[in-house]
Structure 1
């Protein structure tokens, strides 16, 4: 197991307890470095700054699964991983609260211009003034992307006395008194604070640029704790310098340093009432520990028992833990008749089946079969030799 990008030590504990040898690196790796490091690696753990491309996957024949110790998975070529039978797991809910608390803190800090006041105090300047400082109560928060983070932010913002409006391309149920906006433009024209919480799909690249900032209310606030590639930071700079945007907070950037201590460049550096944080939305001890425990468990469950529940790219089979007997995992092309042919082969081999679990997703199907006796090498060879087989693996209880 290779873990990159300062993944929480609890992941190491979980994996070592299951028998894995774990190598831990603090920073991310470029494509060539990653290829070199993956020789002999069964499981790879990354966060958001390491890209697993098709080229990387082609050069890593021993790789069984990739764990994204974060929410997003856009840094992995999911289609290429699925085609090679490499499972990908993430932690879609574990750092939700941490991100939301950061955004709430930033809304208050920007509205009160706390960053600016603090800098002056550190410079020895006593500036006791209410100019430009506002309460958030009664203000309108516009949430773009109303998923797990957006809805929890909605709830906490209402508790602070804010009015909440939201826009999402998917059909989402409004929480509390939140109101759905029909268009993004409608939201931008009404919100005093705009907070982005969209995912990293390619279609969201450049979602927020000069046109969107111009649509925002004069002297409104802008927050991005979603994906760096969503925002045109040059356009944001222009609207902050002009005074149209009163303040901004960004936790993610189009280009981010690879390792701790590396230089950070951005056109937003040095601007008044702009909070820049180094992608720490989910970086609380509580969130990172939960993510480490959760994703490490999913990786170990797949490698040691063939379990794919919550995989983002392979058919998700929620098979029980293997307590006794033997297990056969069969990933195959999703065409009619495969399960029938598998069962016919198992019956011919005299397998006493105790449980069978099947799921399909797009072009693939995955069937997990538990039996009292191990399947013979000849029967396994027949399964592996089928034209629709992507891979076949076996496990034994206690092994």
Structure 2
């Protein structure tokens, strides 16, 4: 539930747009907080449609399909924050959002359990060859056979990317009696009895099941390719519930057809349809013991509710308090409201002298500063000012004219 109103700006003038069928939890959250102008659209919008839609939007909520480009940000003159109601933020031009002082939030932890559970489920389905047996049964063929069907217990799970999902999966897998090894480009503390491996080749050559949990970066594109697929154990299984670009699907299909790999589960693809019902193709279709799902790794009711609550809270706290904890663009500050003050937010390019000029301008107008907080990143600086009740509209206009200013906003 949203907190008690502390702002002085007219909430009915704040426009909020949610795309891609974001959970109704988010809509109800802002309605309960007094924001009446909340619009929800079920699908994603094209760049051209977005440019038209965001002109007067203050808060924008998206999931993974909506692409927030420089052109979209240029058109969004009133935009204060973007909420990515998902794990990643790669669909947003973060550099441009930073330059424009638009806070970008996401939910990096809210659906980790959903993904981890589905990896375990897929592992069982594949190692038991349930995919093939299910297909045969649907075709009227009785195929009761233990050949090529194994237990997870005693097998080795190789986790590539030992972050929020990978580490939680590690614990679940050990609970099933699996041995866990992992590979990460950063040093990570193992949980339970998990062991790290120094190279990708070392991991894939010792794992019965390899599962990917890495971000989409230039360094992870085609991370699994024809060059390293040959190092997988014969009959091994590959699971990708991370990002569509990290596996070369043509090379994977070839390995499966040749019988080197024994199965695969793929939930994310280099190209995905815009909406439900659209035609979808992949070189993995029709292959034996391959489980294909339409990017639903984190799509559970529990995960969507958690994501809706998490991102809504972050957007709300920024809009009403200026708190930027969890932002990928504006430096992180989290501050309680102060009684008997005005709060001003000032975002500026990170150059010397800005804070001094802000203080000079307020001093000229005999405005007493009761609290001041500054944090910077390599591109921008973020100042939260709590000043006494002597604030004038003229002083706010002067702050807008401070050199290198990107945005100025009065909360209350």
- Kept in 2: contact 1:143–1:196 (CA 8 A): yes
CA distance in 2 between partners of 1:197 and 1:133 (Å): 26
Residue 341 to residue 269, structure 1, CA distance change in 2 (3 Å): same
1:164 to 180, 192, 198: 180
What is the count of residue pairs matched by the alignment? 396
- Report matched runs for 1:72-87 at 5 Å: 72-87=88-103
1:128 to 136, 144, 149: 144
Matched, 1:16 2:31: yes
2:204 maps to what in 1? 188
- Report matched runs for 1:315-354 at 5 Å: 315-321=331-337, 325-354=341-370
How far 1:188 sits from its partner (Å)?
Answer: 1.2
- Kept in 2: contact 1:31–1:56 (CA 8 A): yes
CA deviations on 1:313-351 (whole Å, 9 max, x unpaired) are 111111224665321001112233322332333333333
How far 1:189 sits from its partner (Å)?
Answer: 1.0
1:305 maps to what in 2? 321
How far 1:146 sits from its partner (Å)?
Answer: 0.7
CA distance in 2 between partners of 1:386 and 1:259 (Å): 45
CA distance in 1 between partners of 2:395 and 2:282 (Å): 59
CA distance in 2 between partners of 1:104 and 1:307 (Å): 37
TM-score, L = length of structure 1:
0.96
Cα RMSD between the aligned structures? 1.5
How far 1:395 sits from its partner (Å)?
Answer: 1.1
1:2 to 10, 13, 17: 17
CA deviations on 1:167-201 (whole Å, 9 max, x unpaired) are 11112111111111111111111111110000122
Instruction: Tell me the secondary structure at the aligned position of residue 190 of structure 1.
Output: coil
- Kept in 2: contact 1:141–1:191 (CA 8 A): yes
For structure 2, the residue ranges without an aligned partner over 5 or more in a row are 1-15
- Kept in 1: contact 2:340–2:389 (CA 8 A): no
CA deviations on 1:287-317 (whole Å, 9 max, x unpaired) are 1001011112212222233221110111111
1:258 to 265, 271, 274: 274
CA deviations on 1:29-80 (whole Å, 9 max, x unpaired) are 2211211222211111111111111111112212221110000000100001
Instruction: Tell me the secondary structure at the aligned position of residue 132 of structure 1.
Output: coil
Residue 307 to residue 322, structure 1, CA distance change in 2 (3 Å): farther
Residue 215 to residue 306, structure 1, CA distance change in 2 (3 Å): same
1:292 maps to what in 2? 308
- Report matched runs for 1:9-158 at 5 Å: 9-18=24-33, 19-158=35-174
2:243 maps to what in 1? 227
Instruction: Tell me the secondary structure at the aligned position of residue 290 of structure 1.
Output: helix
TM-score, L = length of structure 2:
0.93
- Kept in 2: contact 1:26–1:259 (CA 8 A): no
Instruction: Tell me the secondary structure at the aligned position of residue 272 of structure 2.
Output: coil
- Kept in 1: contact 2:101–2:329 (CA 8 A): no
CA deviations on 1:355-388 (whole Å, 9 max, x unpaired) are 3222111121101112231621222222111222
CA distance in 1 between partners of 2:103 and 2:54 (Å): 16
CA distance in 2 between partners of 1:316 and 1:232 (Å): 37
How far 1:230 sits from its partner (Å)?
Answer: 1.0
- Kept in 1: contact 2:349–2:405 (CA 8 A): yes
CA distance in 2 between partners of 1:82 and 1:261 (Å): 36
Residue 371 to residue 386, structure 1, CA distance change in 2 (3 Å): closer
For structure 1, the residue ranges without an aligned partner over 5 or more in a row are none
